Every structure is written in C-alpha cells, then in structure tokens.
Chains A and B, each alone.
Chain A
C-alpha cells in the first residue's frame, strides 16, 4: 500500500461503507473473536479464580498474587502468542492458552486482594457467631469481595478481547484476520475491522460493568464503583 492511500481521511468514509456492505462477514469474524476470547477467559477463570479466592481466604501467597500482576503486565501479548505458536502450532489452542495467561494476572490478583482485604472484624464476628471457615468464605468474604472479583474479571475480559486481534498472526481468526491482511481488504477494510474491534471491547467493558453493578451487594455499590473505574489492575 502507498502512503498517499494511508494519509487520506476519505478512507474513513470507505471504512464505514465497508461495514455497510459486509455486515454479516464482519459479524462472523467478530463472533469468531468472541469465541476465542470466551474460551481463554473461561480457562483463566477456572484456574485463577479458585486459586486467588483460596489464597485470599488463607491470607497466604501474597507474593504469588503480586507477582502474577507484574508478570502479566511485563509479558507482551505478541511474545506470548508467538511463543505458544512455537509450542502448540498454528490454530485455536495456542491462542487460547496465550490469551488465558494474559487473563490470569488481573483475575488472580483481584480475587486475592478482594478476599484477603475483607474487614478482619467482620470475619472475627462471624467466627464468634460459630460459622465454619467455609461458611465465612461463602457468606462473608465472597459477597464483600465481589466488587474486586468483578473488577479483575472485567479487566481480564477487556484485555483478552482487545488482544485477540493480534492472535490472527497465529491462526486465531477473528477481526484480526482482516486487520493483518491489508493486501486483500485494503486500508478501508482494515479500518472497518479496527472500528469493530474497538466497539466490541467497549461493549464488553460496558456490559461487564453493568453485571458488576448488578451483582454488587447494595450496601457496597456507592463506595466501590467510583474508585473502581480509576483503578488500573
């Protein structure tokens, strides 16, 4: 492609025309990307959520929780995807694992912080009332940790959906397929796919924020949400 083509603002008009002309193609690609993201997020949830909650309940392994968030940030998505490609070959699995690793950090750290940070007096009081460890976890710690648990899940989900287009270079499919294939789709198609990718991650962000508000116990809503939005990880 030429720079003249690139530096032309009319391409945005063409991009929107591309969206108008190929809505079902873009929707199929978006669905592909969501499938990959959901699989990766599911895998990460399966591993990181119980681990973070149990460690938080025992107040152990804070080094692991902090380490997970640091490692999660320091590992570039491109490096992860390329590395898993060399290990597992091209296709769905390698990308699922690479994206799941990215999602593990925020889920683990926030689950740990959420449960670990529950007011000790509340836990003491529950124990005084004769609750067992499991009951304390289920009735006191988990409900109070919900805002942070969901912050972690939301950050992880947005990260995964936002990173999934990069997986296209390793056979991940999705809207990234269009973005990395400018030779076939021209800049207008690339821009159209990029706009769809942005809308998709914004939608996931807003949707999960809604879910988070809905599941947060009423008493916690006002205090938690304000700080939460500005919290990064």
Chain B
C-alpha cells in the first residue's frame, strides 16, 4: 500500500466524530485546511495537467486524421479497446515503468482523455456542411484559410462537448489515483475506509467535493461554449 503522510485519527473530537454520525460539520471545519482543501487542489492539478496534455496531443492528431482519412478507423478501434482497460489495472501496469509517481497517474489519465477528445475534435472538424466549404473555396480561400476561418470555428461546439466529457470523467478517474499516491480527493476516502469503522463524514465530504468539482467544471465549459459560439447550432 502507499506510504502516505500520517493518517489522522478520528478518536478524539466532538461526540459527533467519536460516534461516527452521518455528517459532522465540525470535523469538516477543523480539517478543511489540512485534509480537504489540499486534496481538492491536488485533484484539480491532476485533472488540469491531464486535460492540457491530452488536448495538446489529440488536437494535432485530429487535424492529421482530418487530412488523411484512412487513419480514422484504426484509431477509433484502438481507442475503443483502450477505453475498456480498467483504470486501477492501468495504473498498476505502469508502475514497473514509471514507479509510484504522478507521471504514472498522468499517463493513465491522459490516455483516457485522448480516447474521448480525439473522436470529438475530429467529428467537429468534419461537421462543416459541404456547401459551406464549397462556398468558402469559391470565395478564393486557401485550404489553410478554410481550416482556420470555417472548419475550426464550426468545430468549437463538438470540441467543447468532448472537453466536457473528458473533464468530468477525468475528475472521476483521478479519485482512483489514491490507490497509488496520497493525492487527490480519493485519498481522504481511502483513509476513511481504512479506519476500523469507515469514517462517514470524510467519505461524504470528499465525495461531495469530487462531484461538486465535476459539476462546476461542466458549468464553466458550458459558459465557455456560450461565449464562443454565437451562432445557432442544430
């Protein structure tokens, strides 16, 4: 098992904590600074790094596949299979290569984002209607201009759609990182489960933060979409 920081004890504190009631606000208040907030920040870091790297890889790949169509089918099947790999197993399989490090966690998280981002970006690039492309070419736009001023803007809704799925599922999978590292919102849950009796408040608080983080990020991306896409989408 992972060697983390000293596991906090729940034996002292209010009666609520001692008797392991459903939810103890006083525990959340007392341990926000040393447990929940750091876990939340780590969780955001894990997610943000995975999304940024995943996007940086998926975007050029999708542009390439957009130009060379034969690439699409093999990449599609490969990613469908990659997606079936259980996250816990993938983390473990990577340990001999990269050890119990954040790199291991990020490699796994990035792989899952690729599987989601690549097909969505590609579908977005393909979503420009043929007559629109025809008109753009008729106006004398070069193929690069068609890409930057027609295809890319029209791809934005699909790209953001992909980002929404990728962000929400990365936040979910990042909780599994706690099996390897004392990082992220999965770790407080892990610690709470390893008490003689599972400590409810910590499980619910960390769980609610993970779900809340996912919902908040989703809202932000929807707002981004509203700001970027000023035309009507079907």
| Residues in A lying within 8 Å of B, measured CB to CB | 3, 6-9, 11-12, 70, 73-79, 82-83, 85-86, 158, 161-163, 165-166, 169-170, 176, 179-180, 182-183, 187, 190-191, 194-195, 197-198, 201-202, 204-205, 226, 229-230, 232-233
Contacts and interface: CB of A to CB of B under 8 A. Distances in A.
Given A169-B193, A183-B1, A77 B172 contact: yes
A191 B73 CA distance: 31
B222 to A, nearest CB: 11
B70 to A, nearest CB: 14
- Top 9 closest A-B pairs, CB basis? A162-B86, A79-B207, A194-B89, A76-B172, A194-B92, A74-B214, A76-B175, A197-B89, A230-B76
B7 interface: no
B84 to A, nearest CB: 5
30 contacts: A6-B96, A8-B96, A9-B97, A73-B169, A74-B214, A75-B211, A76-B176, A82-B193, A85-B203, A158-B84, A162-B84, A162-B86, A166-B88, A169-B190, A180-B179, A182-B1, A194-B90, A194-B92, A197-B86, A197-B89, A198-B90, A205-B80, A205-B84, A229-B76, A229-B80, A230-B76, A230-B119, A232-B116, A232-B119, A233-B165
A104 to B, nearest CB: 15
A76 B215 CA distance: 12
Contacts of A74: 168, 171-172, 211, 214-215, 218
Interface string B54-92: 000000000000000000010011011101111111101
Contact of B178 (A9, A78, A162): A78
B128 interface: no
Contacts of A233: 165
Nearest to B209: A79
Q: Which of A9, A76, A77, A163 has the most CB of B within 10 A?
A: A76
Given A162-B85, A202-B81, A7 B210 contact: no
Interface of B: 1, 73, 76-77, 79-81, 83-90, 92-93, 95-100, 116, 119, 165, 168-169, 171-173, 175-176, 178-179, 186, 189-190, 192-193, 198, 200, 203-204, 206-207, 210-211, 214-215, 218
Q: Which of A161, A176, A194, A229 has the most CB of B within 10 A?
A: A194
Given A162-B85, A197-B86, A202-B81, A82 B172 contact: no
Given A76-B175, A205-B81, A82 B198 contact: yes
Contacts of B207: 76, 79, 82-83
Contact of B210 (A73, A76, A229): A76
A162 B87 contact: yes
A55 to B, nearest CB: 23
Nearest to B104: A6
Contacts of B179: 179-180
Contacts of B193: 82, 85, 169-170
Given A82-B189, A205-B84, A230-B80, A179 B172 contact: no
Q: Which of B84, B99, B176, B190 has the most CB of A within 10 A?
A: B84
